[in-house]
């Protein structure tokens, strides 16, 4: 009976494969369908996989002094590699046309920062430029992957800066093009509360 059912299943699968193969799909009309939003991709595919690449290398100051953080075992390098692969492929997802910015509209976050509708309009009008930014990020992650495969922590660390620049370039162009960053105060603010400086008096 089990044998019979397997045969039926096999037959059904074969029929399905034939049916699928019968419909020619040309590279130009591959059924790519953007299902997640840009915001989803940023949170769960881009940021979630970029952070572990930045965090994998660097120096942290602890009570015992400065500790150089870097993957050491093959398993640790492999864990970092997994994030590089996922981030690399996320750049392909970014260039699939027709992706919505967010499920729910969001307002501007402050002066010079665009809300979701404006971001959407901006990207729709400048699609080629948006894709170029995604490809710029991809080029950096390709090099990060090479550094990971060579277990080269120093290269991975300096490429972290290039990755930061690639993220920022797209954000400045599409998200906060005229963000007003307040000037840093030129004089320190007056001391207040319990942190008032104690100035010893003479005599
Ligand atoms: C090709 C363009 C592009 C690139 C490259 C890009 N981003 Fe974004 N990112 C956007 C846009 C557009 C938004 C604003 C819309 C939104 O909030 O998702 C955004 C928003 C975000 C957000 C906020 C998501 C939220 O919760 O609203 C994070 C976090 C983020 N990006 C991280 C990154 C990091 C990290 C990188 C680089 C590793 C990166 N992005 C590279 C286009 C890009």
Write the CATH number of the domain with boundaries 42-179. 1.20.120.10
Q: How far apart are the first and last CA of the chain?
A: 105
Domain ranges of the chain: 42-179
Backbone φ, ψ for residue 78 (5° rounding): -65, -35
Q: Which atom of ligand 1 is nearest to the CA of 133?
A: 1
Sequence-ordered alpha helix ranges (H) in the chain: 2-22, 38-40, 48-55, 74-94, 116-125, 127-149, 153-174
Mutate to test the pocket of ligand 1, among 39, 42, 99 (most ligand atoms within 8 A of CB): 42
In 3D space, the residue among 106, 107, 108, 102 whose CA is nearest the CA of residue 179 turns out to be 108
In 3D space, the residue among 46, 52, 88 whose CA is nearest the CA of residue 71 turns out to be 52
CB 50 within 8 A of CB 167: yes
Which residue's alpha carbon is at the smallest distance from atom 21 of ligand 1? Answer: 42
d(CA 197, CA 48): 43
Cα 39 to averaged position of ligand 1 atoms, centre (Å): 7
Cα 108 to averaged position of ligand 1 atoms, centre (Å): 15
CB 196 within 8 A of CB 181: no
Per-residue confidence of the chain (203 residues) as pLDDT tens digits?
A: 454 555 555 555 655 555 556 666 777 778 899 999 999 999 999 999 999 999 999 998 999 899 999 999 999 999 999 999 999 999 999 999 999 999 999 999 999 999 999 999 999 999 999 999 999 999 999 999 999 999 999 999 999 999 999 999 999 999 999 887 777 777 766 655 444 444 455 54
Q: Give the pTM.
A: 0.81
Q: Cβ neighbours of residue 108 under 8 Å, at least 6 residues apart?
A: 114, 115, 118
Q: Which atom of ligand 1 is nearest to the CA of 94?
A: 1
- 114 in helix, strand or coil? coil
Cα 83 to averaged position of ligand 1 atoms, centre (Å): 17
The partner residues of 68 in beta bridges, in order of sequence, read 59
Backbone φ, ψ for residue 153 (5° rounding): -65, -35
Query: Residue 167: CB within 6 Å of ligand 1?
Result: yes
Structure tokens that stand for 38 in this block: 């840009």
Q: What one-character DSSP code corresponds to residue 185?
A: P
Which residue's alpha carbon is at the smallest distance from atom 27 of ligand 1? Answer: 39
């Amino acid at each position: 009976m089990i044998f019979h059912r397997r045969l039926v299943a096999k037959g059904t699968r074969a029929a399905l494969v034939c049916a699928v193969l019968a419909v020619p799909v040309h590279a130009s009309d591959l059924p790519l369908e953007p299902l997640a939003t840009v915001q989803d991709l940023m949170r769960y595919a881009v940021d979630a996989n970029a952070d572990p690449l930045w965090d994998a290398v660097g120096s942290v100051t602890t009570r015992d002094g400065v500790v150089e953080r870097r993957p050491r075992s093959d398993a640790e390098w492999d864990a970092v590699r997994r994030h590089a692969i996922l981030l690399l492929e996320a750049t392909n997802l970014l260039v699939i046309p027709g992706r919505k910015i967010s499920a729910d509209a969001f307002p501007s976050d402050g002066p010079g920062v665009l809300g979701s509708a404006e971001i959407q309009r901006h990207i729709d009008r400048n699609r080629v430029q948006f894709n170029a930014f995604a490809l710029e990020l991809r080029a950096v992650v390709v090099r990060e992957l090479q550094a990971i495969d060579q277990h080269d922590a120093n290269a991975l660390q300096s490429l972290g800066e290039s990755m930061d620049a690639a993220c920022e370039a797209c954000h400045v162009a599409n998200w906060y093009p005229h963000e007003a960053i307040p000037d840093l105060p030129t004089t320190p603010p007056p001391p207040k509360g319990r942190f008032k400086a104690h100035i010893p008096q003479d005599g």
